[in-house]
Homo-oligomer: A and B are copies of this chain.
């Protein structure tokens, strides 16, 4: 990795939880300035754009406590200890929607909000899926599967109706993959 010129001077663990840990760090800039940074360390996350044989994208609607609202999202979840991200994508799709992905490929890997958290998101794609029964985990009972044509999902993005960042990215990347962007 390229030398950034920044150095960690002090790191204080404020909270260690199940999914996140919070640190308050002091760093030194290349100019010698000391700055404080609040850092949330977060387990990596994985999601999948799954298209059925009619070109419908498989989404789930679920309650998200931090925003106190239901949110329409691609199937996604947290990486279990030492789990392969691709295996996690297949598992989450099956658990949440019942669909089994026969073949998958990686679309992207990105940081969700690098100003304050190290959370990484691995995004996968499959257009080869087979219907089945969901295997929901405790706390996921309220989840609803929503399948809409990818074309309609792209229009929802244009109208500002997709409120989840990874899902917005996923819909546009899937559209770029199965179609093309004309500039």
Q: Residues of A with Cβ closer than 8 Å to B?
A: 1-2, 4-6, 8, 14-15, 17-20, 22, 24-25, 27, 29-31, 33, 35-42, 45, 63-71, 73, 78, 106-119, 121, 138-139, 141-142, 150-151, 154, 157-158, 160, 162-166, 168-169, 172-173, 175-176, 178-183
Shortest CB-to-CB span from A17 to chain B, Å, is: 5
Q: State the copy count for this chain.
A: 2
Q: How far is the CA of A69 from the CA of B37 in the complex (A)?
A: 14
Given contacts A15-B14, A30-B142, A38-B17, is CB(A70)–CB(B176) below 8 Å? no
Main secondary structure of the interface of A (DSSP, over half): mixed
Specify the chain B residue showing the minimal Cβ separation from A140: B29
A162–B5 alpha-carbon span in the complex (Å): 22
Assuming the A-B contacts A15-B22, A165-B165, A176-B172, are A142 and B29 also in contact, with contact meaning beta carbons closer than 8 angstroms in the complex? yes
Contacting pair A117 B113 (CB below 8 A): yes
CB of B180 within 8 A of CB of A114, answer no
Taking A2-B70, A113-B117 as contacts, is the C-beta distance between A183 and B175 under 8 angstroms?
yes
